[in-house]
Amino acid sequence: MLVAMGVDELKAKYCLIQTKNKGFDDALDFMDRLSEKIDIKSEMNKLTAASKKKKKPKYIPLELQRLFTELQLINRETVSTQGS
| Choice among 29-38, 55-64, 72-81 with the minimum mean pLDDT | 72-81
pTM as predicted: 0.53
| Helical ranges in the chain per DSSP H | 9-18, 24-33, 40-51, 62-79
Whether pLDDT at 54 is above 70: no
Tell me the CB-side half-sphere exposure of residue 4, using CA atoms within 13 A: 2
Of 82 and 11, the structure prediction assigns the larger pLDDT to: 11
Of 79 and 73, the structure prediction assigns the larger pLDDT to: 73
Answer yes or no: are the C-beta atoms of 31 and 11 closer than 8 Å. Answer: yes
Domain boundaries, the chain: 3-79
pLDDT digits (tens, 9 = 90+) for 15-50: 888 898 898 889 888 888 887 778 888 888 887 776
